[in-house]
Structure formats: C-alpha cells, structure tokens
Amino acid sequence: MHSPKQYYGVACSYLDITAIPNPLPKFLQIIIASGLRQVFTYLPASTDSAKQEQPMPAIGCRVLVPFGRSQRVALVIGHSDHSDVAEEKLKPILEVLDTQPILPEHIWRLGIWASNYYQHPQGDALMHLLPVRLRQGHNNQLISRFWQRNGNDGNSPPDLSRAPKQQHAWQQLLSLPPVFSELHLASVELAPKDIKPLLDKQLLKLTQPQQQLVSANVHGDKFSLNTEQDSAYQNIKAQLDQFGCHLMQGITGSGKTEVYLQLIEACLEQGKRALILVPEIGLTHQLLERLQQRFNNPLLALHSGLTDQQRLDAWQQASLGQGDIVLGTRSAIFTPIPDLGLIIVDEEHDQAFKQQEGFRYHGRDVAIKRAHDANIPIILGSATPSLESLANARRKRYQLHTLRQRAGGASQQGYEVIDMRDYPAQAGISARLREVMQHELQAGHQVLLMLNRRGFSPSLQCQSCGLTVPCAACDTSMTLHKFPARLHCHHCDQRQSIPTRCPSCQAQQMRPLGSGTERIEEHLQSLFADYPVHRIDRDTTRNKGSLEGMIEQVHTGQPCILIGTQMLAKGHHFPHVTAAVIVDADSSLFCGDFRGPERLAQLIIQTAGRAGRASLPGTAYIQTYQADHPVITTLTEHGYDTFADMELQQRQLGLLPPFGHMALFLVQAKQEQAAYSLLNWLQHQLTNPILAKATEELQHFGPMPAAMARRANQFRVQLQLQHPSRAHLQNLCRHLCLLLEQNPDSKKLRWSLDIDPQDMA
Ligand code: ADP
Ligand code: ZN
C-alpha cells in the first residue's frame, strides 16, 4: 500500500504543511457540511485518548469530529490560540484523517472563492469539491496500481518469442513512460490482466506513481484546417501562455471540436495538460471517442456515471497528473490537475453547467475564474453562445472567434415556420408536417422531432367538469404515461394508477390533454406504419446501452423517425436526417422566464443543427401558433446574432442580466404564511438606513410564489433582487444572509440564495 505521504510527494504544489505554527496552536478551526455558515472550534486531540497520539493537522486536512450526537468529517480551516468559547466547553477532535492537505492550494482557494461568490456555507462548498468517498471519511490511499519495467530497457529484450501475446504487450509497453498506470495501459489498449504474465516473469514490478512529463502523442489523422478554423487556432495558440477568455462561436459542424483537438495537441506539446467540460454525460462518451481516435495520451473522464470508487480513483489519478487530458461534466471543474495549460467549456450556453440545488455554482463561470488564476487560456465553445458571453465578447472582455462555414463542405439548413393556425393538427402533428415527413421518408431520408415533454400527455382531463388531475403534493398536474400505465408527477416523483372516473365529479370521461413524446410516437407509428420510430427520452434510455443501440440503428442510414426530448438536440450527429422539427415552439416562448426566448432560440438552432450534416441539405421546421412572433421571425430570417442583438436590447431596457445582476432568495415551508413572513421581514431589512447607498439602485420583486409554487408539499416563495452593480448586490446579499442566520424563524424553514440564477423556478 502506498502511504498518503508518497501520494502527495509527487503531486502538484500543495498547501505548505510547514504552515503549522510553532509552538503548536491550542485550537483548531474547522468547517463541516452542516448547512451552517459557521466555523467551529475544537481542541487538537484528546489527551486521554486510548489511541496513539495524533499529529497536528495542517490547514486543508480532514479530521473526524464529534458533532451533536454524531461524528462528522470536517476540514481544518485555521489554527488559533484564542477561542471565543470557554476552553472547557470545547471538544477534542477524534481523528486526523490526512497527513497532508487533501486539496492542492489552488483548488482550495478556488473553492473558497466560489463559496464566497455564491454565498454558500463554506463547509458545504469545500466538501463538495471532494469525491464522495473522501467526504465520507474514506482514506485517500491510492486505488490505482503503477508499474515499472524491470532493469535494462530495450538493451537486451526479453525472449518472448513463444508467447506472442506477451511479446505484443511488451512491445506496447515500450512506448509508455517508465512508470505507467492503468490509464496508460488503456491508451495502448491493454488491461492489467494482459501484463500479469510479465509481472510474474519479473519483467515488470509494481511501483509508486511518478509525475510524468507531458508530451503530445498523436496517432489519428488530423484535418488541415480551413481558413476560419486556422485563424482561431493560430490566434489562441499564440496566447497559450496566458489567461484569455476565447469565445468560439461556430455553427454545428463548423469544426469547433477539430480546433479544440489541435489546440489540445499544442498544449500537450508545451508539456501541459488540458481539461474539457461538457454539459452532460452523453457528450463525454462522444468526445472521449474522438479524443481516443486522435491521442495516445492517457485520458480521464469524470462524470456521474462512475461509481464512488471509480470516481475517487479518477480524481486521485488526475491529482497525480496521470491524465493528460481530463474530460468531465460540471463538477470536474474542481478536479486537481497539475500543470494545467488549457480549459475548454463546450456548449457553454447549456443550463446544465449551473447547479440548481445546494451549492448553486456555475461550472462555466468557475472555469473562467480557474483559468484566470492559473493564467491559462479558456475556450468557450457554442453554436449559440449565452447572451452573457456574447455581451462579454462585444465589450471585448472575451476574444471572439467565429466559424461560419460547415467544415467538410456539408450544406447548411433552411427554416420553415409552420403556422399551426393554418393547418389542422392531430396529436401535435400538423397536416403540413405530415406531408413533409411523408416526402422525406419516401426519399429515403430520416426525420427528427424534438419535444421537450416526456410521457404520453402532460395532463389527464375530465371532459365533463374540466378538472386536470393534480399532484397532491405539487402545484402541477400529473403526467400521463402509458408505458407503464400510470400518472406520474415529474416534480416530486409521486405515482398513482390512472383513474377511470374524475376524482371530482365522478364522470367517466377522462381524456389526455396535450402531447408528450409517447403520444407522438404512438401517433407516428400509426401514420407511418412502414418506418421505424425511435423514441429517445429519459424513459427509453434508462437502461444501459439502450441509447447507443438506438443511435446505432439510426446510423445505418435507413429511413426512420426519431422523436425525443432535449437529449436529442445535444451533440449527436445524425448525418441522414434531412428534416429537424421543433414540435412545439410556444411552450418555451411563454414560460414566464426572461430567458425563455434565449432558450427557444438555442433549442431551434441546436435542433436545426442535427439536420443535413452530411452531403444532404436539411430543413428545420418550427410548429407554432405565433408564426409572426419577433423571436421566431428574427431568428429564422436573420440568424442567431441578430436575434441576440434584439434580445440584448430588451435586456438592457429592463436592466436584466448581463446588464444587471440578479440574486434570488427562496424559502420553502409547509406553511405558506411562514415563508411569506420570513421574506417580508427580509425585504423590510432593505429599508435600514445603513443600506441606503447599496439599495439606491436596487430593484426587488416579491415575496412572490416561485414558478412552481408548491413542490413535494412545500410552498416555495421567492424574493428577487436586481442591481446594476455586482459588488453592491454581493454585499447586500451577504448582509441579508447574516441577518437571516440570526433570525430564529429561519431555522425552522429551508432557505437558500441563488446568485446569478439561471432558472427562475
Ligand atoms: P463542431 O464541433 O463544430 O460541431 P466538428 O469538429 O465535429 O464540428 O466537425 C464536423 C465534421 O467536420 C466532423 O466530421 C469533422 O471530422 C469534420 N471536419 C472538421 N474540420 C474539418 C476540416 N478542416 N476539413 C474537413 N473536415 C473537417
Ligand atoms: Zn408532485
């Protein structure tokens, strides 16, 4: 077993352990994931402990402490010789879990910055940076194994002529660094079992990890970049040694990923590693494949599909510099990576980068801070950049690189807006769409339909009294599912059987109202009986491999229909699709969130981007009852940039982000009145004369019900603050949090603060 000390001996520069004061401090200040904005004081170690004497933990070490009636894992955040609490009331810690700080200093600082910026309790925020196993107190001994070739490499090659498999493995090993891990083995398509015979023959031995020098190891073919790609590439490459935020705006298929790959190569050539963030796990698989085709360098993926143990392993290996390219979803931004030289955030506009519960950080924004502090470049890539990023590019805070051409000469799509007022529709499919689909399928093409609503129908309605069956715990109706048949609340997960009578008037006239993906699938199966219909949503892809299975079938190129939720609009390449359809544009247009138009525009462009990727020209069809809505006409006639200009002007008038800054206090309570009274009280605090200067330009709205006014039996009430100055808003929120903490009523309720909220629900 490797001791933690060896583990850290080779990793990046960690917090200086010599920072332990001499003489030893009397008290330890620690933080715990307790939801409290509080630093606790403990005594270093029990003197009457039966255990052997514990060392003084450095700042950044985990310790086990008694907390209330339980034991908790905590982080040491300071040493002190003074305590506000009488010494005899203090408890000693139970155990020191680490001999060295668990995080490198730059990640520790990034965590502290993020907890301050998002005003989330420090204990919760910093614990969040650790893999679950480490939060639970699991020791940090290395999981992965490391090997070394024994003795004189290459000089006298071992005679393996009678064992061709071993011979092959040995040859492959010669291309690896002197000390290699399972990751390196994977990069040459070997598994530990393949080298076991070599280990038995003592040609290899187990050893300690070593920090390796990084160098590019490219094996796949690369494209020669077109003019636009090359200009972005050259420009960023020339600035690899310094911080810069690069917004790469390129339509789907314009070759952004190819530019990333070549810049990663340039970064590796400089002896530095690269980190790539994608919004969701499905995209990690695709990108990982492309990285594997291009690089022999060891790759690491961190995402929610890993077990806790695998995640700890990946995290440890990343910390040790074993992954030259690290790829992951949101939380991977906090992964320690020595000698990081480049960060890429793909699909930077995606809402999934914002954590919506608990520690509500924005992965993209934390990434920019990390790149800034490390003085390295960051690339934000998207076909439809967020309006925040576009505004930053227009203010010249970000450098803009635009890719307007589809790489490889694929043709670009056109739009057709289907005005639903002009065509009769059945189960959400207009007569015009039906005609288009018939035509495309007969021509041997594929059709893709996007509808962001899974289930059969969003509600079940009584034809006699008009009631839609509500969820008992939430302020919403139950979604009707046919496979398996049930009513299901998508907000609190309650399920019930489908009633045949109306729960209110007892009439036996229950009918589905509106269409979800299941209903469209059923309808299309009856309309186009000769063609397979593939439904891709959370219900059909729950089983491992089912998504891949369907995508494989689609890739055979046979005419077929794809119907799915947002999942479908993200990243996948469907070269045989010639018609991409937004089944219902209106639901996003009128969702009540000021970001509704932006989200719709992004959805339309992203969905349209699925069509006509190969040599076939494609068209995007938009079904709407608002065919002359300026968002739709501007977007389809003039494109995303003109839409963005128009939308940014609207935002400027309302001082909405990015022209103003927002914070949202949310209170959840069983009693609606309790939530209101706490927020009313909070709002009243804003009238305090000492805040006069900070509140001068403040706008506040509420307390008011959240978009989802009741969820899982909790009333949800919010107070929205808006201010042109980020600094003023930050200070105000900090002040309000302190006041809330001191208010005894706040302890009986759940309250949270969302800085830069992305979702007004
Ligand atoms: P994006 O990431 O912008 O969607 P990709 O990098 O995936 O675009 O490129 C789209 C397709 O074009 C891919 O199949 C890619 O291999 C190909 N491609 C990219 N750059 C070039 C190029 N310079 N010449 C030819 N084909 C290219
Ligand atoms: Zn519910």
Helix axes 227-237, 256-269, angle to 10 degrees: 30
Shortest-distance Cα residue to atom 19 of ligand 1: 255
- Distance (Å, rounded) from C-alpha 323 to C-alpha 301? 9
- 256 CA distance to ligand 1 centroid (A)? 7
Q: Which CATH superfamily is domain 4-135 in?
A: PriA, 3(prime) DNA-binding domain (3.40.1440.60)
Top CATH class of 227-405 equals alpha beta
How far apart, in whole angstroms, are the C-alpha atoms of residue 453 and residue 582? 12
Q: How many CB atoms lie within 10 A of CB 484?
A: 8
Residue showing tokens 């203090």? 90
Domain spans of the chain, in order of start: 4-135, 163-207, 227-405, 410-457+514-650, 661-755
Question: Long-range contacts: 524-527, Cβ < 8 Å, 24+?
Answer: 524/429, 524/437, 524/449, 524/561, 524/563, 527/429, 527/434, 527/437
Instruction: Please name which ligand lies nearest the alpha carbon of 573.
Output: 1
Which ligand approaches the C-alpha of residue 712 most closely? Answer: 2
Q: Which ligand neighbours the alpha carbon of 224 most closely? A: 1
For residue 658, say if its preceding peptide bond is cis, omega within 30 degrees of 0.
yes
Mutate-to-test residue for ligand 1 from 248, 257, 379, highest number of ligand atoms within 8 A of CB = 257
**What is the Å distance from ligand 2's center to 545 Cα?**
30
Cβ pair 667, 711 in contact under 8 A: no
Q: What is the pLDDT of residue 571?
A: 66
Kindly state the helix (H) or strand (E) to which residue 554 belongs, with its residue range: helix 546-555
Residue 406 Cα to ligand 1 middle (Å):
8
Phi, psi of 526 (to 5 degrees): -80, -30
User: Nearest bound ligand to CA 474?
Assistant: 2
Give the ligand with the smallest distance to the CA of 283. 1
Q: Which residues contact 755 (CB under 8 A, 6 or more apart)?
A: 117, 118, 119, 360, 663, 730, 733
In this structure, the residue with its CA closest to atom 4 of ligand 1 is 253
pLDDT of residue 153: 56
Q: Are 372 and 242 in contact (CB under 8 A)?
A: no
Q: What is the mean pLDDT of each run of 10 residues along the chain (761 residues)?
A: 30 47 82 89 71 77 93 93 86 91 93 94 95 93 82 64 82 79 79 86 81 79 90 97 96 90 96 95 84 89 86 91 93 96 96 94 97 97 96 95 78 84 89 94 93 90 90 90 90 90 89 91 93 88 78 87 85 83 86 86 87 73 93 92 95 91 94 94 88 85 89 93 92 91 88 91 60
* Residue 428 backbone class (left: φ over 0; alpha: ψ -120 to 50; beta: rest): left
C-alpha 458 – ligand 2 centre gap (Å): 13
Which helix (H) or strand (E) segment is 317 a member of?
helix 308-319
C-alpha span between 508 and 500 (Å, rounded): 6
Q: How far is the CA of 710 from the centre of ligand 2 (A)?
A: 9
**Which residues is 446 bridged to in the sheet?**
577
Structure confidence at residue 9 (pLDDT): 27
Residues in the chain: 761
Ligand 2 centroid distance, CA of 711 (Å): 6
Closest ligand 1 atom to 260 CA: 6
| DSSP codes, 573-623 | --TTEEEEEES-SHHHHTSS-TTHHHHHHHHHHHHHTTSS-SSS--EEEEE
* Residue ranges lining ligand 1, Cβ < 6 Å: 223, 225-226, 229, 250, 252-258, 407-408
| Amino acid in position 101 | P
Nearest CA to ligand 1 atom 9: 255
Residue bearing the CA closest to ligand 1, atom 26: 408
Q: What are phi and psi of 646, to 5 degrees?
A: -65, -45
The predicted pLDDT at position 234 comes to 97
Q: Residue with the nearest Cα to atom 25 of ligand 1? A: 408
**Which residue's alpha carbon is at the smallest distance from atom 12 of ligand 1?**
407
Tell me if 427 sits within 8 A of 520, measured CB to CB: yes
Residues 6+ apart with CB under 8 A from 744: none
227-405 and 410-457+514-650 agree in CATH topology: yes
pLDDT at 142: 83
Assigned fold of 410-457+514-650? Rossmann fold (3.40.50)
Distances in Å between the alpha carbon of 119 and those of 115, 443, 666, 721? 5, 57, 14, 15
CA distance 389 to 367: 13
Residue whose CA is at the smallest distance from ligand 1 atom 5: 255
- Residue 58, classified by CB atoms within 10 Å of its CB into exposed (0-12), middle (13-18) or buried (19+), is buried
Report how far ligand 1's centroid is from the alpha carbon of 533 (Å). 28
Task: Give the atom of ligand 1 at the shortest distance from the alpha carbon of 224.
Answer: 23
Output the residue whose Cα is nearest ligand 1's atom 15. 255
Q: Is 234 helix (H, G, I), strand (E, B) or coil?
A: helix
CA 708 to ligand 2 centroid distance, Å = 10
What is the fold, at CATH topology level, of the domain defined by 661-755?
Answer: Alpha-Beta Plaits (3.30.70)
Q: Whole-prediction pTM value?
A: 0.90
- How many angstroms does the Cα of residue 216 sit away from the middle of ligand 1? 21
Supply the pLDDT for residue 52.
Answer: 57
Which pLDDT does position 11 carry in this prediction? 31
Residue in 227, 258, 261 to alter for ligand 1 test, most ligand atoms within 8 A of Cβ: 258
Distance of CA 339 from the midpoint of ligand 1 (Å): 28
